[in-house]
Structure 1
Amino acid sequence: MVTEATAATDKIRCDACPVMCYIKPGAAGACDRYANHDGKLVRVDPHIILERTVEHGGRLVPFQAGGDWDGKIVHQPETFVTAIGAGTTYPDYKPAPFIVSSEVDGVDMVTVVTEGIFSYCGVKLKIDTDRYLGAETATVRAQGEAVGHVTTSEYGSQMLSLGGVHHLTGGSKKEGRVTCDTLMDLSNCRPVELTIDGGATVIVQAGQPPVVNGVREERMRVGCGSATIGMFAKQWHGKVDEVVVVDDHITGVLSEHQAGKLLDIPDTGIKMKGRRSTPGRYFQVADPGTGWGGTNISDPLSILGSFDPKVAKPGMSLLMVSTTGEHASYYVLDAALRPVEQEMPSSLRHSVERIQENCEPALCTVLFMAGAGGSLRAGVTDNPVRLTRSVKDALTRVTSGGAPVYVWPGGGITFMVDVTQMPAGAFGYVPTPALVAPIEFTLKLSDYAGLGGHMDYVRPLASLRQNGEFRPIPWPISGRQA
């Protein structure tokens, strides 16, 4: 790191990223991460380490081959050095800022930490809602700028893919800046408003319910319409003649469904709009939307045709309900076989409440995803491919801010991490633009030497304590650590 002030201006040139800011005394660089303090370049944010205690630690699991359990967490370090606040390796030939040795269960270990500068990064956003947010591949915008797109829906959730190098660097300067801000805010668990072309406006925040078109979502659907029929058929048996579970994807009809057949529920003569798939399962009963069951309807009878007079009889009862139980209506057929809405019997209200009870709370999940490139890996070893191979061979454990990550198969070190498992403020940025995120590699000291690691830069954990270069925080149990 360049720390000398220029004689003419007393400014310091920072080499923590490609922008290479000149920072005047008492000011911070463009990233707000480095500052000029009395002529020295300093990291503004403290270096974070995690300390595990009984009060704040993880699960206490008494696995021991023999003897009494001493209360310690099994095979877990008491102190873990994260990369948050550690600094970067830019311009990439330098060893990682901290290469720290410690002993865990009698084994000499080393943790190599660095804050990666990620142009190739993004977030995968899971939004628990049955409501229609937008068509697949529709553009997602923040502050009017394209920052991602809608991807395939999953069970009870809408999925967005945001960021990536094309939005960060391939568009206008404003698009890159807004994309970077959006990714950083989401990764730091801040709320962000997104608009989807041809679809909804949604406020998302990791670990919090989504707000769709100004309405806070409460619950995730219990299942598709067909699955809901299967789960609750017995509870409806003998209490109502017919049940329709309205769902944008698969609407279920009790009397036709296999669950109804096995319970000997007779045909009712009901006629459904949409495309019949298998018995009791209908596709495309309505267009997608934010109404009943993720469709665009507000009147559930609009998806019904006329009842078959050869089968249906006056007085037959019909329950129509959505997959979350948010919408439900009860009808009785009149003399002309038209459904007339009636007050719902208490026994059926109980079943609707049971559907609601079985719906999990609607939340937003943010997974930060990035590829650890060759330059970052060069800070770990002088032969970067060996680090990649050691990760794939499970000799090296990868974490991000101490949180476990999923490393994708195939080439490189492409990882995903749940941002709510990381300490607060773990993400920063550089105005190239790119995100700055922590990454740690932990392995046996002997394996590190075998990788061609930077052994001359290994320092004991105690040296950090002696120099006061860090701020300890409790190890998060789950969710965001304050």
Structure 2
Amino acid sequence: MSELSERFVSSDPGDKRQGDKLRCDACPVMCYIAEGRTGACDRYGNFGGRIVRCDPLTILEHHIETDGEVVHFAAAEEPWTGELIDPGRRFVTAIGAGTTYPDYKPAPFIVSQEVEGVDLVTVVTEGIFSYCGVKVKIDTDRHLGPETATVRAEGEAVGHVTTGEYGSQMLSLGGVHHLTGGSKAEGRVTCATLLDLCNRKPVELTIDGGASVIVEAGKAPVIDGKVEHRMRVGCGSATIGMFATQWRGLVDEVVVVDDHITGVVSEHQAGKVLGWADTGIKISGRRSTPGRYFKVSEPGLGWGGTTISDPLSILGPWNPAKGARAGLSLLMVSTTGEQFAYYELDEELRPVEKPFPERLEKSVRLIEENCEPALCTVLFVGGAGGSLRAGVVENPVNLTRSVQGLQTYVTVGGAPVYVWPGGGITLMVDVTRVPENAFGYVPTPALVAPIEFTLRRDDYLRLGGYAGAIRTVDDVLAQGGEYFNERQNRPAPTGNPWPPLQQLRRWPGGRP
């Protein structure tokens, strides 16, 4: 990381030079930067007597869709090198493009390109997002902390635990209140945490009243120092429904221990349909429906996301009047198959642990096989505000309406996004689909994220776009832009579709 420049306040807001330093106006901090140094964001520097964007402009090159046949694009302006890349379908991303700040000017790049007969315009800018955060999905049954508990990084509050989902714990981090509404330290740490998460770096988080977890997008979570390998196949009831036939005739009773819904095969409807005999078992929990029990334990890091280390602790006395007998066999297993044990009732109807029988090993392995790898998912969430939109069209609400009407396709570094319904442009993107190190920051504090708007050229002009700023891809590659330093060509990530030709062809004007 380059050494940070000093910052000054000039008496003349129009003065871009103070001594041998140049003022950078790419964000509200307005650094004065000495030759060879970078600003406080490490994104802009003074090199050769001009302010330049330090990171290269990223151009994504899309693979040729051959269906097994190699196609030579003779019509392309550049000669084919033999690589399965279509030189006529390049996508200028906003990574390294620069920003519209202070928002009175068009976006850094407004690029025209014809693709398969569709004349497209892509408006490219790096947005400064004060209103942003990340949603984190952590695949685990283990208890990370109570709902609404504060999540901390370096001791500072950066978010909270939100409602859990099926087989996963969820965190909501960032947001304007943590970025700008708390102390300077809180804002700084929140910004750094979001930046690392979005750039797919590991971040250690602690949860008040709960666990410590290391989160890295696309990697397994590390909870209290232990790597999580699998997410559960389902709740205890679902596991019974899925695998009851695997146990029939091999064991007299099966209990699947789970923090949410513990299942008992002899009472469960799946067992009844298979003709399972009653066993006289008693579960210490709140019975919901037959074979399904809530609250057998408090949430924790033990069996099935409970506090249980000894599964027999959830059993009450066995009832001989309802089928309990000496020698009755019992399998207890967790929802991931990681914990399992085998018991038989003695003469006093007490379960005694026995060596795990070979006949049941296949069923436990089947549970494990049906558990997907535990991963951390990080979704960047940001609101594209009026200032950013002003660099796209002269009347910002026109852009909002075109996005909501599916007339304009939004991407982040070329990756597809989900745009929330309702007012504004609130978008969400999986950071693993965005090229690496695409996110930056400004020390206001706020995150900087690449954002692109693609639409038909005629629609762009009709919305009030900046017609005089439209340039071809070739011109952008040759001439660059206001803060242009260098460019890099990278293969487009697999699975990121561009351009959305079906949408832009079938729905001209955004009308299905």
Q: For this structure pair, what is the TM-score category when the shorter chain's length is used for normalisation?
A: over 0.9
**Matches of 1:231 and 1:16 in 2, distance apart?**
57
1:246-290 deviation per Cα after TM superposition (whole angstroms, max 9, x unaligned):
000000000000000000001100000110000000000001000
Partner AA of 1:417 in structure 2: V
Quote the Cα distance in structure 1 between the aligned partners of 2:175 and 2:274: 52
Deviates more, 1:103-112 or 1:182-191: 103-112
Alignment partner, residue 212 of structure 2 = 201
Q: Secondary structure at the match of 1:171?
A: coil
- For residue 327 of structure 2, what is the aligned residue in structure 1? 315
SS at the partner of 1:52? strand
Which of 472, 475, 479 is the equivalent residue of 2:492? 475
Pick from 467, 473, 486 the counterpart of residue 455 of structure 1: 467
TM-aligned CA distance change 1:385 to 1:5, over 3 Å: closer
1:216 aligns to 2:223 (yes or no): no
| TM-superposed deviation, 1:53 | 2.6
Q: Are residues 1:32 and 2:49 paired?
A: no
Kindly provide the CA deviation profile for residues 289-334 of structure 1, in whole angstroms up to 9, marking residues without a partner as x: 0000000010000010010121200000000000000000000000
User: Which residue, out of 416, 419, 439, partners 1:427?
Assistant: 439
Where 2:389 maps in the other structure, the secondary structure is helix
- d(CA) in 1 for partners of 2:48, 2:63: 37
- Measure how far apart 1:9 and its partner are: 1.7
Residues 70-117 of structure 1 deviation map (CA, whole Å, 9 limit, x = unaligned): 5999x9972111000101111111100000000011121100010000
Pairing 1:332-343 to 2, within 5 Å after superposition: 332-343=344-355
Structure 1 residue runs of 4 or more that deviate by more than 3 Å after TM superposition? 2-5, 59-62, 68-73
| 1:23 pairs with 2:42 | no
| SS in structure 2 at match of 1:376 | helix
Q: Which amino acid aligns with 2:351?
A: P
The whole-number CA distance in structure 1 between the counterparts of 2:67 and 2:263 is: 44
Q: CA shift at 1:470, angstroms? A: 2.0
Aligned equivalents of 2:15 and 2:437: distance in 1? Answer: 29
The answer to whether the Cα contact below 8 Å between 2:163 and 2:169 also exists between their aligned partners in 1 is yes
Q: Is the 8 A contact 1:420 1:478 kept in 2?
A: no
CA distance in 2, matches of 1:257, 1:213: 35
2:22 equivalent to 1:12: yes
Using the alignment, how far apart are the partners of 1:132 and 1:50 within structure 2?
41
| Structure 1 Cα separation of the partners of residues 221 and 341 of structure 2 | 26
State how 1:164-179 maps to structure 2 within 5 Å: 164-179=175-190
Three-state SS of the structure 2 residue aligned to 1:134 is coil
Aligned counterparts of 1:372 and 1:60: Cα–Cα separation in 2: 37
| Equivalent residue number for residue 158 of structure 1 | 169
Are 2:56 and 1:50 equivalent residues in the alignment?
Answer: no
- Give 1:191-340 correspondences, 5 Å limit: 191-310=202-321, 311-340=323-352
Q: 1:219 to 1:77 in 2, by over 3 A?
A: farther
- In structure 2, what is the Cα distance between the partners aligned to 1:69 and 1:364? 37
For 1:101 and 1:4, locate their aligned partners in 2 and report how far apart those are by CA, in whole Å.
34
Is 1:118 matched up with 2:135?
no
Q: Does 1:414 align with 2:426?
A: yes
The number of residue pairs the alignment matches comes to 468
Could you give the per-residue CA deviations for residues 176-220 of structure 1, whole angstroms, max 9, x where no partner exists?
A: 000000000000000000000000000000000000000000001
The change in CA–CA distance for 1:399 and 1:77 in structure 2 (over 3 A counts) is farther
Is the CA contact 2:16–2:24 (under 8 Å) kept in the aligned structure 1? no
Aligned amino acid, residue 234 of structure 1: T
Unaligned runs of 5+ in 1: 63-67
Partner AA of 1:328 in structure 2: F
User: AA paired with 1:33?
Assistant: R
Distance 1:290 1:9 in 2: 61
Distance 2:235 2:118 in 1: 50
Q: Is the 1:189–1:420 Cα contact (8 Å) retained in structure 2?
A: yes
Unaligned runs of 5+ in 2: 1-12, 74-83, 481-485, 497-512
Question: What residue is the counterpart of 2:478 in the other structure?
Answer: 466
RMSD: 2.0
Amino acid at match of 1:336: E
One-letter amino acid of the structure 2 residue matched with residue 117 of structure 1 = I
1:119-162 CA-partner distances (Å, limit 9, x unpaired): 00000000000100011100000000000000010000000000
Q: CA deviation at 1:421?
A: 0.4
Match of 2:76 in 1: none
2:94–2:451 contact (8 Å) kept in structure 1: yes
Summarize the Cα distance change of 1:286–1:60 in structure 2 as closer, same or farther, 3 Å threshold.
farther
Tell me, yes or no, if structure 1 residue 145 matches structure 2 residue 162: no
Counterpart Cα distance in 2 of 1:418 and 1:93? 30
| Partner in structure 1 of residue 97 of structure 2 | 86
> 1:248 and 1:356 mapped to 2: Cα distance?
18
Aligned residue for 1:78, secondary structure, equals strand
Task: Give the deviation of 1:38 after TM superposition.
Answer: 2.1
Cα distance in 1, alignment partners of residues 244 and 147 from structure 2: 33
Pick closer, same or farther for the CA change 1:220–1:478 going to 2, 3 Å.
farther
Assess if the C-alpha contact under 8 Å between 1:4 and 1:40 holds in 2.
no
Q: TM-score under structure 1 normalisation? A: 0.94
Following superposition, the deviation at residue 478 of structure 1 comes to 5.3
CA distance in 1, matches of 2:195, 2:30: 21
Contact 2:61/2:87, CA 8 A, preserved across alignment: no
Once the two structures are TM-superposed, the CA of residue 52 in structure 1 deviates from its matched residue by 1.4
Deviation, structure 1 residue 449: 0.1
Q: CA deviation at 1:464?
A: 2.0
- Letter matched to residue 11 of structure 1: K
- Report sequence identity in percent: 70
Tell me how far apart the structure 2 counterparts of residues 314 and 243 of structure 1 sit (CA, whole Å): 16
Are the equivalent residues in 2 in contact too, given 1:464–1:470 (CA < 8 A)? no
* 1:41 maps to 2:58: no
Question: Is contact 2:415–2:429 with CA below 8 Å preserved after alignment?
Answer: yes
**Contact persistence 1:4–1:39 (CA under 8 A):** no
TM-superposed CA distance for 1:347, in Å, is 1.7
Q: 1:354 matched to which residue of 2? A: 366
Question: 1:260 and 1:71 mapped to 2: Cα distance?
Answer: 61
Partner Cα separation in structure 2 for residue 287 and residue 233 of structure 1: 26
Residue pair 2:62, 2:90 contacting (<8 A) in 1 also: yes
**CA-CA distance at 1:244 after TM superposition:** 0.2
Partner of 1:65: none
Whole-Å separation in 2 of the counterparts to 1:208 and 1:51: 27
Residue 401 (1) aligns with residue 418 (2): no
